[in-house]
Structure 1
Amino acid sequence: MTVTLHVCTTCKAAEAVADGEPLLGARLHAALLAGEVPEGLRIVGVACLSACNSGAAVALSAPGRWSYVYGRLTEADAPDILLGAAAYLDAPDGIVPWRARPVIFRKQSLARIPPLEPSNV
């Protein structure tokens, strides 16, 4: 099953950005794509996750699983985000045991959204 990691590429997290410089969210997106992406993870840039006060933000989702939105992230967090996504890939319902989550996923969760349909797992 494919898991999607949406990355808000327009997040700036109140960061002053000069014209032509990449925004924080775009830098995070690039860092994630440059990292060791687990098999089965699809990384997709999106224009906005509506978490502007908590940017940069990402969302993890898959059919039949709980979805999560995480914020207050930077490109330095890319390795931990990818580790968290790998743990999510291994969780049939999307609920990763607390201690198996990277610290940023424990402390920087903005929302947990139930699956649209029950899992067949």
Structure 2
Amino acid sequence: MTVDSAIARDPLTDCESPAGEAEAEDAVTVIVCSSCRHPEIPAGETEAAPRPGSLLAAATARAAENTDITVKHIACLGNCKRGLSAAMLKPGAWSYVFGGLDVDSGPDLIAGAELFAGSEDGFMPFRARPESLKRGLIARIPTFDSLKDLP
């Protein structure tokens, strides 16, 4: 595994879009923390590979097959106390950070990303979200444009 632009490249879980593939304006990207570890293993102790975050990244990529959702993984989202973690980004919309996910939460992330992609107001509808994304919401981050009218 090598590190390039803060994105960990792992041939087993490399979830990046094919080279040259253009992303639509309303395309959603799911970013999964591939270095998240088991919460019960203290920092500094050795953990068997692959880490749970890497497994979640791979499960999310599999769930995204045959969809318009892009899945990428990054070495750390800095949400270690509430890992496994992922984020969702959409151009011109608020971004979302989720934690407390499981290695099998990939389909939930893609279901949420599809809701987000289809939203007209740039928000992910709360009631329709999978339960793991309702209880696992860490933050909803505004766009820079939405801040310009604030004091």
How does the TM-score come out when normalised to structure 1?
0.86
Post-superposition shift, 1:35?
1.7
Post-superposition shift, 1:38?
5.8
- Unpaired segments ≥5 residues, structure 1: none
Residue identity matched to 2:102: T
Question: Which of 111, 115, 124 is the equivalent residue of 1:87?
Answer: 115
Q: CA RMSD in A?
A: 1.9
The CA deviation string for residues 97-117 of structure 1, in whole angstroms up to 9 with x for no partner, is 221111111111000000123
Q: In the alignment, which residue of structure 1 is the partner of 2:62?
A: 34
The answer as to 2:34 corresponding to 1:6 is no
Ranges of 4+ aligned residues in structure 1 off by more than 3 Å? 15-20
Q: In the alignment, which residue of structure 1 is the partner of 2:53?
A: 25
In 1, distance between residues paired with 2:113 and 2:90? 11
In 2, distance between residues paired with 1:43 and 1:36? 7
| Structure with larger Rg | 2
* CA distance 1:27–1:72, change in 2 (3 Å): same
The answer to whether the 8 Å contact 1:12/1:56 transfers is yes
Q: Which of the pair is proportionally richer in helix?
A: 1
* CA distance 1:94–1:35, change in 2 (3 Å): same
Residue identity matched to 1:67: S
Q: Give the number of equivalent residue pairs.
A: 118
Residue identity matched to 1:33: A
Residue identity matched to 1:8: C
How does the TM-score come out when normalised to structure 2?
0.70
- Identity among equivalent pairs (%): 34
Higher RCO (C-alpha under 8 Å, 6+ residues apart): 1
- Unpaired segments ≥5 residues, structure 2: 1-25, 147-151
